[in-house]
Structure 1
Amino acid sequence: MSFRLILTATLSIAILAVFLGLGKWQLDRLKWKQGVLAEIDRRIAAAPVGLPAQPDPERDKYLPVTVTGMMGANTLRVLVSSRDAGAGYRLISPLHTAEGAVLVDRGFIRVADPMPPVPEGAITVVGNLHWPDDRNSATPENDLSTNTWFARDIDQMAEVLETRPILIIARQTTPAEQGILPMPVTSAGIPNDHLEYAVTWFLMAATWVVMTGFALWRMKRRTRDTLAPRSD
């Protein structure tokens, strides 16, 4: 076997090992991510507790809480899209509690729906603390003049509604609000593309095997033809 064939085969095996290694790494990442999502789901569904005195974005993210208070009159509208209901708004209102006013994400209404009134009297909200990251480089700035928000910027919302910078995503209110579809926190929106990445790397490995095999076959055939004796 020629040196060229040996070198080509060695390099091909090395590159194949890289593809397979990357695929295996993505499978390991998939297992890790599934564990993270399972822990998030467990935390979201846990029994609610009282609102901590000083919630921490890292420690208390997704923490289930129950709070009671009076809903403030002002409501902010965050433009979103629901898979089942289409375009609409999340409604963010202040809830005045014994621990101070906080933000409550009450749920979803369609764009064409009228703004529902805020509940009168005491209301109990069961939901999850959240510090959402809705904004990216393509997100427009919030339009306060038309009360159209494109991201749940908690600090800005807290300033406008004069609350603490704490957001509770409601999953249940008592008494229940009519005309509002709750949009509770779930892990469904957290990206988990590791399986697709793993399949991509393994397909590349399979393609590389076919291409390498064909290339080696051609090189071997060309070498054989070159060395074959000619008949005059």
Structure 2
Amino acid sequence: MRNLKLILTSYLNILKTVRNNAAPKSILFRQYHFKIIPGRYVLPSRQSSSTAAGAEKEEDSFFKWLLLLIPVTTFGLGTWQVKRRQWKLQLIDDLKSLTTAEPIDLPVDPMELERLEYRRVKVRGHYDHSQELYVLPRSPVDPEREAREAGRLSSSGESGANVITPFYCSDLGITILINRGYVPKNKVRPETRMKGQVSDEVEVVGVVRLTEQRKPFVPQNDIEGNRWHYRDLNAMARVTGSEPIFIDAVLDSTIPGGPIGGQTRVTLRNEHMQYIATWYGLCTATSYMWYTKFIRKIR
């Protein structure tokens, strides 16, 4: 909103300049021509009023069409944001459909996994609780709250951690990594949630996730201190001796007394409606200002 006010103020100042200034200096210079008087000196004499008026009219016409570019451009940007919003809504729907589809068996082919991010898969085996990893700080997933807080610098959610545990797949003969879910600060240590540290064979349904690039201002992972801030699958696999395969356990796979599953974030920032209102509002304002300066004045 502040940028919108600045742009409108600048645009209004330009219009005032065009209105108040009969002609720029370059035109004022053109209003004079030099008359040579033989044997004496050069005397500047003013051009006829019709010539000066013509030059002023020409300059005014130039500014008229130049300033029209602003409402035209802002209208184009608003229309582009409409299309971007439609694309973003479709992308959100596609992600939600993937995370709610019927689970398939986990493939071990890395090339196939690259095409299955956010796809639900199922595995059977047992956890190795001795090599838990902790991704923090994290807050429990709440899609409605995250949609409201999209774009904010801080979140009002409770701070805790996601517990990443190696999982031996008895049907595949490999060990993968499973994000079992969220725990609050006072439940990060395993001894505080022994009821959920099951050793029996279980079936887990999860969402395939790929490695994550560190975002700006996100700290580096503290591997020795077991404090992870982003999902680095290769580093996590080296520490735990597992394959670089990672899934988020769904809520239904939550074990009583253990971390709360369903921590896959599929809420994407969708602020395009604000951009649409800004650009179309700017287009409307500048169009009206242009109309009052040039069209209504002519009439």
Q: Which category of TM-score, normalised to the shorter sequence, fits these structures?
A: 0.7 to 0.9
Partner of 2:214: 135
Q: Does 1:17 align with 2:72?
A: yes
Stretch moving more, 147-156 or 43-52: 147-156
Q: Given residue 12 of structure 1, which amino acid in structure 2 is its aligned partner?
A: L
Question: Are the structure 2 counterparts of residues 57 and 211 from structure 1 closer, same or farther at C-alpha, using a change threshold of 3 Å?
Answer: farther
Shift of 1:163: 0.8
Q: Which runs of 5+ in 1 are unaligned?
A: 222-232
Specify the SS of the correspondent of 1:191: coil
Q: CA RMSD in A?
A: 2.5
Q: Does 1:91 align with 2:163?
A: yes
TM-score in terms of structure 1 length = 0.83
Partner of 2:146: none
Q: Which runs of 5+ in 2 are unaligned?
A: 1-53, 140-154
Question: Are the structure 2 counterparts of residues 28 and 175 from structure 1 closer, same or farther at C-alpha, using a change threshold of 3 Å?
Answer: closer
Deviation per residue, 1:86-111 (Å, 9 max, x gap): 11110000000132000000001111
Q: Within 5 Å, which residues of 2 pair with 1:153-192?
A: 153-172=232-251, 176-188=255-267, 190-192=268-270
The structure with more helix, counted as a fraction of residues:
2
Q: Does 1:54 align with 2:109?
A: yes
Stretch moving more, 104-113 or 79-88: 79-88
Q: Matches of 2:82 and 2:254 in 1, distance apart? A: 46
- For the pair shown, the structure with the greater C-alpha radius of gyration is 2
Deviation per residue, 1:43-69 (Å, 9 max, x gap): 111000100131445411111001111
Q: Matched residues, percent identical? A: 26
Question: Are the structure 2 counterparts of residues 196 and 30 from structure 1 closer, same or farther at C-alpha, using a change threshold of 3 Å?
Answer: same
Stretch moving more, 54-63 or 68-77: 54-63
Specify the SS of the correspondent of 2:68: helix
TM-score in terms of structure 2 length = 0.66
1:87 and 1:110 in contact (8 A); partners too: yes
- The alignment covers a number of residue pairs equal to 219
The structure with more strand, counted as a fraction of residues:
1
Q: Within 5 Å, which residues of 2 pair with 1:69-88?
A: 69-73=125-129, 74-82=131-139, 86-88=158-160
Shift of 1:134: 5.9
Stretch moving more, 91-100 or 140-149: 140-149
Deviation per residue, 1:151-178 (Å, 9 max, x gap): 1211111111111101110014657241
